[in-house]
Amino acid sequence: MSNTKLNQQDDLFFLQVRLFRLAQTKWNVDSKKCSEIFNKYKIYDYIETCYEFFHIQGDEENFNDINKYLKNNGVEL
Weakly modelled stretches of the chain, pLDDT under 70: 1-5
Stated as kind and residue range, the H or E segment containing 21 is helix 8-27
Determine the pLDDT at residue 4.
Answer: 59
Determine the pLDDT at residue 2.
Answer: 52
Distance from the first to the final alpha carbon of the chain: 43
Spatial contact of 45 and 73, defined as CB atoms under 8 Å apart? no
Determine the pLDDT at residue 1.
Answer: 47
